[in-house]
């Protein structure tokens, strides 16, 4: 039962995501308000990409940050 709930969540989350990528260690899900058609044309033009340079894949000891 412990493994069923996360897998069910991942199954339904992929249907709502705009981008779904599976790597060796990670699953990437991409969402945007434009994909859901919730924005007006003026609001859609004001959207900017989010910089994601704040993520560190390793910690200060050089080990994998997520595990």
Ordered per-residue pLDDT tens for the chain, 67 residues: 677 888 888 788 777 777 888 888 887 888 776 667 778 889 888 888 777 777 777 878 888 877 6
C-alpha distance across the termini of the chain, in Å: 22
Q: Which residues of 30-46 are buried (b: 16+ CB within 10 A; e: fewer)?
A: eeeeeeeeeeeeeeeee
Nearest CA among 52, 53, 33 for reference residue 44: 33
Determine the Cα angle at 64 with ends 61 and 65, to 5°: 85
pLDDT at residue number 44: 81
How many helices (H) and strands (E) the chain has is answered by: 2, 2
Domain ranges of the chain: 1-67
């Amino acid at each position: 039962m412990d493994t069923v709930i996360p897998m069910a969540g991942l199954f339904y989350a992929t249907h709502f995501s705009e981008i779904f990528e599976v790597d060796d260690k990670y699953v990437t899900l991409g969402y945007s308000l434009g994909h859901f058609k919730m924005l007006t044309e003026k609001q859609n033009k004001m959207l900017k990409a989010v910089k994601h340079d704040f993520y560190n894949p390793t910690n200060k000891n050089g080990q994998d940050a997520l595990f």
